[in-house]
Chains A and B, each alone.
Chain A
Amino acid sequence: MRLTALLSMAARVVVPKDYRFGTNRPWTVAAKRLNPAGKKRRKVFVEPLAPADWSVLKGDTVQILTGKDQGKQGKVIQVFRHRNWVILEGLNTHHRYIGKTEDYRGTYIASEAPIMLRDVALIDPSDRKPTNVQWKFTEEGDRVRVSLRTGRIIPKPVVERRDGIVPQQWKDGPKDTSPEDTLEKTYVPSLKTLEEDVMEKMGIQETRRNKRSYWY
């Protein structure tokens, strides 16, 4: 059952209901070391927050309210909804060695620790101070985040692609179809099937017919 087991494992990771989520993704080796299958870990209590009320998105600028880096502003790089965590870029760091081998002591890097959602606040773009935020609807019907202190709308952060491609600045290669050619409507609706249409265009004549057949 070797290869088939591997293939079924690679398809989807099934996580038990009381799984203790950490910063590692559940299918990685590190996560399996911390949460081996069958082991019940101490339950961690998470303040319930409806998915619709979640205000901090990846790419937002937030300010830390408590802790070591109190008062500093940083960009959110990762959000863990199941633990109410956010990870900010370069803030709330501790240092550790990475890539240690037998002879080499490893590279000393700063790694960010997750911060609870309660300890961060979104920043109002007008005065760059932390503020509370509510979800409201605009005149047009869009759902936006509104700062409670000033009433300014906080725009959603631009989602960057993981491969770094900015679609608007993309230069088409030789095998790329341009947007104009892609969006051009060349379909002419007709009552012919695809096969009949192709036969007419190519000038194929088929006079043979299938023999009558029966099935029961």
Chain B
Amino acid sequence: MGVLSTLLRGLVRGADRMAEFTSKKGARTHNKGRGSRPTGLRLSSRKFISIRSMIPEFVVPDLEGFKLKAYVSYRCPRGTEPPLTARSVFADVVAPQIKKDFQEGVFNKEQLEKYGFESQQEGKLFKLYPKNYVR
């Protein structure tokens, strides 16, 4: 409030027209949401059926024996990890297998499925393209 009064000491008076019009600002009959997604269907009989799969559910694993806590100690040295790219994952996971098979003479260009290559994204739940997962 102190900073606002210093502003009001200026020459301009009036309401803040550029502020965002939220659900708190209009009349009490004015129904405005705050950007939440629907969790069911509205029927023609104006009834609302809630669909369980549309309600987000938090999947939390058992944190027994989990060592990481909310904050990091000041004694930790600063630093960064190399960024995780597709190239680095390939180099860590697939490249050693291919190298081993090539040296044994078993490597076959036609049989890349055993290294994790997916030629089709059809029956998968999480498709790489078009990407339908967040992370």
Contacts and interface: CB of A to CB of B under 8 A. Distances in A.
A193 B94 CA distance: 15
Interface stretch (B25-33, B43-51, B67-75): B67-75
Given A175-B69, A181-B68, A201-B61, A3 B92 contact: no
Given A2-B4, A6-B3, A202-B59, A210 B71 contact: no
Interface in A120-146: none
B7 A6 contact: yes
Range, interface on chain A: 35 or more
B64 to A, nearest CB: 13
B34 to A, nearest CB: 19
B89 A1 contact: no
Interface string B100-114: 000000000000000
B71 A179 contact: no
Interface stretch (A81-89, A148-156, A165-173): A165-173
B19 interface: yes
Given A181-B67, A209-B123, A167 B59 contact: no
A177 B75 contact: no
Contacts of B17: 1
Interface string B1-22: 0011001100010111111000
Interface in B83-135: 88-89, 92-94, 116, 123, 125-126, 132-133, 135
A49 interface: no
Interface residues of B, number: 36
Nearest to B68: A177
A177 B93 contact: no
B94 to A, nearest CB: 7
Contact of A1 (B16, B73, B125): B16
Nearest to B122: A209
Contact of B133 (A1, A6, A195): A195
Interface in B49-82: 59, 61, 67-77
A177 B72 contact: yes
Given A184-B67, A191-B89, A202-B59, 17 more contacts: A1-B14, A1-B16, A2-B4, A2-B7, A3-B19, A6-B3, A6-B4, A6-B7, A176-B71, A177-B68, A177-B69, A177-B71, A179-B73, A181-B67, A193-B126, A193-B133, A202-B61
CB-CB nearest 5 A-B residue pairs = A189-B92, A170-B74, A167-B74, A194-B135, A181-B67
Interface of A: 1-6, 165, 167-168, 170, 172-179, 181-184, 189-191, 193-196, 198, 201-202, 204, 206, 209-210
